[in-house]
A = this chain, B = another copy of it.
Amino acid sequence: MKKHETAKGVWPPASTPFRPDLSIDFERYIAHCRALLNDGVHGLAVLGTTSEANSLDFNERQAVLETLVASGIPAEKLLPGTGAASIGDAVRLTKHAVGLGVRGVLLLPPFYYKGVSDDGLFAFVAEVIARVNDPRLSIYLYNFPQMSALAWSPNLIEKLLKKFPETVVGLKDSSGDVAYLNTLLDRFPGFAVFPASEALLFAALKRGAAGCISATANMNAGAISKLYETWKTAGAEELNKSVTAVRLLMQKVPAVAGVKAVLADRYKTQEWARVRPPLDPLTPAQQKELLSELQKLEAGALV
Query: Which positions in A face B, CB cutoff 8 Å?
Result: 22, 49, 54-60, 84-89, 92, 109-117, 119-121, 123-124, 126-127, 146-150, 254, 276-280
Contacts and interface: CB of A to CB of B under 8 A. Distances in A.
Q: Is the interface of A mostly helix, strand, loop or mixed?
A: loop
B147 A278 contact: no
A95 to B, nearest CB: 12
26 contacts: A22-B127, A49-B112, A54-B85, A54-B113, A55-B85, A55-B112, A56-B86, A57-B87, A57-B89, A58-B89, A60-B88, A85-B85, A86-B276, A110-B277, A110-B278, A112-B147, A114-B147, A116-B278, A116-B280, A120-B277, A120-B278, A120-B279, A120-B280, A123-B277, A123-B278, A127-B277
Which of A49, A55, A117, A148 neighbours the largest number of chain B CB atoms within 10 Å of its CB? A55
A110 B121 CA distance: 22
Given A112-B147, A127-B277, A147-B114, A59 B87 contact: no
A55 B279 CA distance: 24
A116 B22 CA distance: 18
A279 B56 contact: no
B279 A87 contact: no
Contacts of A112: 49, 54-55, 111, 147-148
A148 B148 CA distance: 10
A277 to B, nearest CB: 4
Contacts of A59: 88
A168 to B, nearest CB: 16
Nearest to A54: B112
Nearest to A126: B277
A167 B54 CA distance: 25
